[in-house]
């Protein structure tokens, strides 16, 4: 059911504001951020992109404090309010432009209150995916057709945010939020056709081949994908108890803490994957081709390993690439990772405790 909106402003003759080219940096590690995804439909074939969003901070009693805060970055349909002190914030209006005329759509108080979000220290909050319809003389009529905070809507907004906020502090916030949401089960479309989901690891996990590196190669307990020019590899492996060479999760965790080279941090991050606790580490290795003197010829590789303890064993996801190509292929690996789904746990099982102990 459409929600009516109150308030409209069209200002002609204004010099259009230029959007910020790069997102602002954080001024405090305890500040957070908000992203809202906005679609504005005009006539039958017209659509407008949002220019900015205005928010108000809500007090402990739920009432709006004095003043307002305008978003400080936008890209396509995503509008961002970055570098926010912790608190509760509600969107109150959306601005867009049409032929150098500024239009403001004001949300009704109830709609604004329903869309309020809590910003926690160092975290990003999703204020929803909003769909508006504007029309009438001078586009004076506006309505909020839909608002959604469903995981699929949030994942879509955060996928775009990863590109918008690349190489900034905010990128890490987006990645952590995506990890909390878990892998996407939404269908992947290519040229209008759905890319099938495939089972691997003897049915222990399913994946969508978004890599397009060619057929996978069977390895013990799973599959491996190799970049055609040999610059990168990805392996998804499910090691079960009783398998030859099986290493229990606690021992693998101890190994992860020491793997790599002296210059590595040897930091193991606690993460979530498919709602299970897991561990992630990134490390460097050096390879000297046989028959060469140490130091004369060397290849440097960077590897990221995800380990998830399971009742039946351990799930491992490896991404390994030549150092100079690691960042180049990482976005593709990250997308592949977020489309990979572990088989649901049986009702009698709960995720193993940290370390698999």
Q: What is the CATH number of the domain that holds 231?
A: 3.40.1000.10
Residues 87 and 187: their CA atoms lie apart, in Å, by 35
Q: Are residues 17 and 158 in the same domain?
A: yes
pLDDT, residue 2, reads 37
Overall average pLDDT of the 314-331 stretch: 95
Q: Are residues 207 and 293 in the same domain?
A: yes
Residues 227 and 208: their CA atoms lie apart, in Å, by 16
**Would you say the pTM of this structure is higher than 0.85?**
no
Q: Are residues 202 and 337 in the same domain?
A: yes
First CA to last CA distance, the chain? 51
Residues 279 and 272: their CA atoms lie apart, in Å, by 8
pLDDT, residue 339, reads 85
pLDDT, residue 39, reads 92
pLDDT, residue 21, reads 67
pLDDT, residue 228, reads 96
* Domain end among 180, 205, 221: 180
Domain ranges, residue 238? 187-356
Confidence check: pLDDT of 196 > 60: yes
Which of 127, 106, 171 is CA-nearest to residue 330? 171
pLDDT, residue 347, reads 53
Q: Are residues 235 and 331 in the same domain?
A: yes
pLDDT, residue 293, reads 57
pLDDT, residue 167, reads 78
Q: Output helix, strand, coil percentages for the chain, rounded to the nearest 5.
A: 20, 45, 40
pLDDT, residue 189, reads 60
Task: Name the more confident of 193 and 92.
Answer: 92
Confidence check: pLDDT of 188 > 70: no
* Domain end among 180, 206, 222: 180
pLDDT, residue 15, reads 36
Q: Are residues 191 and 127 in the same domain?
A: no
pLDDT, residue 356, reads 44
Confidence check: pLDDT of 11 > 60: no
Overall average pLDDT of the 63-84 stretch: 92
Give the ranges where 271-345 is alpha helix by DSSP (H). Answer: 326-339
Q: Are residues 139 and 243 in the same domain?
A: no
* Percent residues over pLDDT 90 in the chain: 46
The model's pLDDT over 197-223, given as tens digits with 9 standing for 90+, comes to: 888 887 888 888 889 899 999 998 899
pLDDT, residue 1, reads 33
Q: Are residues 161 and 220 in the same domain?
A: no
pLDDT, residue 47, reads 84
What angle (nearest 5°) sits at the alpha carbon of residue 26, between those of residues 21 and 32?
Answer: 105
The model's pLDDT over 224-266, given as tens digits with 9 standing for 90+, comes to: 999 999 999 999 999 998 888 899 999 999 999 999 999 999 8
Overall average pLDDT of the 167-177 stretch: 84
Residues 33 and 124: their CA atoms lie apart, in Å, by 5
Q: Which residue has the tokens 């004369």?
A: 296
Overall average pLDDT of the 142-167 stretch: 85
Confidence check: pLDDT of 132 > 70: yes
Overall average pLDDT of the 91-112 stretch: 89
Q: Are residues 194 and 141 in the same domain?
A: no
pLDDT, residue 8, reads 40
* Percent residues over pLDDT 70 in the chain: 83
Q: Are residues 128 and 276 in the same domain?
A: no
**Phi, psi for residue 344 in degrees, rounded to 5:** -55, 145
Residues 53 and 92: their CA atoms lie apart, in Å, by 8
Q: Are residues 170 and 205 in the same domain?
A: no
pLDDT, residue 10, reads 43
* Domain end among 159, 180, 201: 180
In the chain, what's the furthest Cα-to-Cα distance?
79
Task: Name the more confident of 351 and 140.
Answer: 140
Q: Are residues 199 and 169 in the same domain?
A: no
Q: Are residues 264 and 143 in the same domain?
A: no
Number of domains in the chain: 2
Confidence check: pLDDT of 116 > 80: yes
In which band, very low, low, confident or very high, does the pLDDT at 98 lie, cut at 50, 70 and 90? confident
pLDDT, residue 18, reads 44
pLDDT, residue 3, reads 40
Confidence check: pLDDT of 294 > 70: no
pLDDT, residue 151, reads 82
In which band, very low, low, confident or very high, does the pLDDT at 279 lie, cut at 50, 70 and 90? very high
């Amino acid at each position: 059911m459409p929600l009516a909106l109150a308030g409209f402003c069209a200002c002609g003759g204004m010099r259009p504001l230029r959007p910020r080219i790069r997102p602002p940096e954080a001024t405090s590690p305890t500040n957070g951020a908000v992203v809202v995804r906005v679609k504005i439909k005009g006539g039958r074939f017209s659509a407008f992109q949002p220019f900015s969003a205005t928010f108000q901070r809500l007090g402990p009693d739920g009432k709006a404090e004095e003043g307002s805060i305008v978003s400080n970055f936008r890209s396509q349909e995503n509008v961002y309010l970055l570098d926010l002190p912790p608190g509760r914030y509600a969107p109150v209006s959306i601005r867009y432009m049409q032929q150098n005329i500024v239009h403001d759509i004001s949300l009704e108080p109830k709609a604004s209150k329903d869309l309020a979000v809590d910003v926690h220290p160092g975290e990003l909050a999703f204020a929803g995916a909003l769909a508006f319809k504007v029309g009438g003389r001078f586009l004076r009529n506006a309505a909020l057709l839909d608002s959604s905070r469903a995981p699929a809507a949030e994942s879509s907004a955060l996928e775009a945010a990863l590109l918008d906020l690349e190489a900034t502090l905010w990128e890490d916030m987006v990645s952590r939020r995506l990890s909390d949401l878990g892998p996407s089960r939404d269908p992947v479309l290519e040229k209008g056709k759905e890319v099938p989901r495939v089972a691997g690891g003897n049915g222990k996990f399913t994946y969508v081949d978004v890599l397009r590196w060619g057929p996978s190669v069977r390895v013990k307990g799973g599959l491996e994908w190799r970049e055609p020019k040999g610059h990168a590899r990805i392996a998804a492996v499910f090691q079960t108890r009783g398998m030859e060479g099986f290493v229990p999760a606690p021992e693998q965790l101890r190994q992860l803490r020491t793997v790599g080279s002296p210059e590595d941090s040897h930091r193991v991050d606690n993460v979530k994957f498919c709602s299970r606790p897991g561990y992630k580490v990134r490390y460097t290795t050096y390879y000297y081709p046989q028959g060469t003197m140490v130091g004369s010829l060397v290849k440097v590789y960077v590897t990221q390993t995800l380990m998830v303890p399971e009742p039946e064993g351990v799930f491992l996801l490896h991404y390994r690439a030549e150092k100079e190509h690691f960042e180049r292929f990482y976005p593709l690996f990250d997308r592949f990772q977020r489309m990979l789904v572990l088989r649901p746990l049986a009702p009698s099982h709960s995720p193993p405790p940290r370390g698999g102990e």
